[in-house]
Amino acid sequence: MLSVYEQLVERVEHHLNVIYEGVKLDTSYAELSKQLLDTMCIDNNELLIEPKRHHNNWDQKDVMLITYGDSVEKAGEKPLHSLHNFLTEYCGDAINSVHILPFFPYSSDDGFSVIDYSSVNEALGGWDDILAITQDYRVMSDVVINHCSSRSAWFENFIKGEGPGSDFFYTASLEDDISQVVRPRTSDLLRLTKTAHGEMQVWCTFSHDQVDFDFRNPAVLDTFVSIIRQYLDTGIRIFRLDAVAFLWKKMGTSCINLEQTHEVVRLLRTLIEHAVSDAVIITETNIPNRQNLTYFGNANEAHGIYNFSLPPLLVNTLVTGSCKHLKAWLGSMPPAQNGTFFFNFIASHDGIGLRPAEGLLQDHELTDLVNTMQNFGGRISWRTSEDGKQKAYEINIALYDALQGTVKGTDKWGLERFICAHSIMFGLEGIPGIYIHSLLGTGNDYEKVKNTSQNRSINRHKWDYTKLQEQLASPFSQNAKVHDRMIKLLNIRKEQAAFHPSATQFTLQLGDHIFGFWRQSMDRSQSIFCIFNVTDEPQNLRLSDMNLIGTDIWFDLISGHTMSMEDIEYQLTPYQSMWISNIRT
């Protein structure tokens, strides 16, 4: 009978065999396996425990705030300290997790061009500040695994041809077949770089300041395992694998979602789970829906995947007044197995990605959505499609402004539309992630776009903490209205067993103007019917269409009202949300 450690060694060897098949290595899989386990500080001892399979390390109380380390700043105070104060003062128990976007020294892309993975950006604070936040919240850190900064010590050593990192980067030649390569950018893929060994064409999926790693070199994999181990030691428990879909390259292919990439994710999950049993991997794969779902594997790959199709579909629903596409998509989505979850979000530091809507919205509908968002002050980022044409890649806009009106133009329902969007998201199967500027109702930052010349800056406002406190103390400010209603919804949500991330979900058929789904707790004691008017006109809801059990007493958790079964119909006001439960908590 093999020990847990011996079984683990065999499993890691299997992962390595899949990853490096056809790659000539200077070491055996057995030796590399033990090296990786040593790097992750997993010892051969009797205390090593096999992680539980199909086990949920999360429940309905799990809600994540997405923020930069300096989204709130106060003069004379380290931004990470100010962020910690904001979390304590304005999030309280409504939010228990925080995704601090890359907090490392960087050269571009607001942190995603990392210079040094082992250090905290001094402008934000230090590891002691990160550790302090981990004492009160579960922290998600980015692992920018596909590329690093061209100003990193590793790339400087690549140019010199010696030292750590000198063999970390992927190169190609102008004669290689890169015609099928899928990319999210329009810049040249290859960057001409003069090195001590001559001119090299360095692979750059995103920008010429973001140089791609070559994972055919096992030293790159071992280095990232050591990085993850360091983060675990500082209390970080959730790892966002940024741009991981592009990790493995093979000439003559699309260089996206290759089998070796999936196997690297499986290997990292194996190592992380054996090091800290409740640590979690979330893959950031901004790609069409079917491809995104593959990163669950067989509940042996990512614990969570970003629900990238939700933002464009939900925004489209609320600006058109039709939930046809959102309803069809939700009804077709497979439930996440126990041990996995959807990470739901509507807004983030990036824009509203349009690739995940491909095949779900028709071209003319995408065009209408893009035009509507431009009318609301949004910007568009472009990519080069497989046939060489320019296509809209993402919409850059603050969510509050994205929902200020419909395809007909702006109107008076912006706040209600915005709250409706989040009421939908908070009720869905999965764990919700809320961008700090959605929690605060922050609008488009045109000044920052002007200063940076970057479209994405429109939704990356930096709040002066004192001014923010003044706004949140004013009950009639846009920011206070949004914040108070969002926190109220979250406090209701966390008490509902039917909102467990893995609880049953069933899409309701209530026409195109009323969106609805049913959630049932895992012990089947609680049912919640989530009902939403997605239009700017009143809509009549027939209670018989929901098939409520007449012997139960039903409550709208949001308004607190008891439902009268004697009423045949309820009239929903524009963008009204209802969470109709058989249990009042």
Q: Which residues are catalytic?
A: 242
User: Residues with Cβ < 8 Å from 11, sequence gap 6 or more?
Assistant: 270
Dist CA 270 CA 233 (whole Å): 17
Confirm whether residue 93 is marked as ligand binding.
no
Confirm whether residue 241 is marked as ligand binding.
yes
Dist CA 379 CA 394 (whole Å): 9
CA distances from 437 to 179, 394, 443 (A): 39, 18, 8
Dist CA 122 CA 282 (whole Å): 27
What's the burial of 65, exposed, middle or buried (CB within 10 Å: 0-12/13-18/19+)? buried
Confirm whether residue 561 is marked as ligand binding.
no
Dist CA 21 CA 23 (whole Å): 6
The answer to whether 265 touches 295, Cβ cutoff 8 Å, is yes
What amino acid is encoded at 63 in this protein?
V
Question: Nearest Cα to 6, choosing from 37, 28, 27?
Answer: 37
Confirm whether residue 240 is marked as ligand binding.
yes
What amino acid is encoded at 443 in this protein?
G
The answer to whether 249 touches 203, Cβ cutoff 8 Å, is yes
Confirm whether residue 456 is marked as ligand binding.
yes
Confirm whether residue 349 is marked as ligand binding.
yes
Dist CA 423 CA 520 (whole Å): 17
Instruction: Give, for 542, the enclosing helix (H) or strand (E).
Output: strand 539-542
Q: Is the dihedral of CA 123, 127, 129, 134 positive or negative?
A: positive
Q: What SS3 state is found at 428?
A: coil
The answer to whether 329 touches 311, Cβ cutoff 8 Å, is no
Q: What is the dihedral of CA 361, 366, 369, 373, to 10 degrees?
A: 130
Confirm whether residue 266 is marked as ligand binding.
no
Q: Which residues are annotated as a binding site?
A: 109, 147, 240-242, 349-350, 456
Q: Which residues are annotated as a binding site for substrate?
A: 109, 147, 240-242, 349-350, 456
